[in-house]
Amino acid sequence: MPAPHNPFKAALKAGKKQLGCWSSFAHPYPVEMVATAGFDWIVIDGEHAPNDLQTITAQLQVLDGKHSHAVVRIPTGNDWLVKQVLDAGAQTVLVPMVDTAEQAAQLVRAMRYPPHGIRGAGAAGARASHFGSITDYVQTANDQVCLLVQVETRLGMENLDAILQVEGVDGVFIGPADLAADMGYPGNSAADEVKSAIKDMLTRIGASDKAAGILGVSEAATQDYADWGAQFLAVGVDVGVFTKAIRDLEGQWRSRI
């Protein structure tokens, strides 16, 4: 019995567009609500949201069997973090602040079992193998894991072509906010220089065998990213959607009572 099929990885490889959303509530109940919208992928954010291994695991559990594929963003590219979320059942991992091809290659190794990597082979007690009931998990899991690396600094931008040559990286995700800050435009990813850099990177990624991804938090930016060739495109953050709606509701009625 092999490892479960990764539909998100297969869709990226086939060149299909994948529509996504960020989830930052760090709780299974709201991520289950987000999943009812039918997004192709949902990021469980372990970098900026207050998630830990247990909250991530709980969210992976409620997304089982849903159309929305779980993408787990870990806080940093440490081998042990990659191994933990994979054993918890994640198939697709998003890693922030990847600046070099060497970093990307090490992450590829962390995602895979030997002889192609360094992932620990004690899968029998892990949720990923259904606690040992997937008998061929270790032998087949390498083909179903999906690695997305975030390029979001000037150094990463300089090394993008080398990162794109790393076998085992499935997609490259651009982080507009961090890139803007590193380029000298903190809080302004709409600056012309930043937009030009993002467009150039999306074009270069799209011309490679990797998938290009990005998050848009305004309608104008998101449309630009779609027009510039983003293949896996996140169109919002659940916390932002909620806070805007609840504040608008309060403002609407504050002026009427």
Dist CA 96 CA 118 (whole Å)? 20
Sign of CA dihedral 111, 116, 122, 124: positive
Around Cβ 198, how many Cβ atoms within 10 Å? 23
Positions marked catalytic: 48
Extended strands (E) in the chain = 18-23, 41-45, 69-73, 92-95, 146-151, 171-174, 211-215, 232-237
Residue 97: name the closest of 78, 113, 81, 110 by CA: 78
Q: Tokens 């830990």, residue?
A: 52
Q: What is the DSSP secondary-structure string of 75-99? A: SS--HHHHHHHHHTT-SEEEES---
Residue 23: name the closest of 41, 11, 5 by CA: 41
Asked whether the beta carbons of 84 and 93 are under 8 A apart, the reply is: no
Q: Considering just the CA atoms, what is the radius of gyration of the chain in Å?
A: 18
Q: How far is CA 161 from CA 132, 150, 165, 251, in A?
A: 40, 14, 7, 48
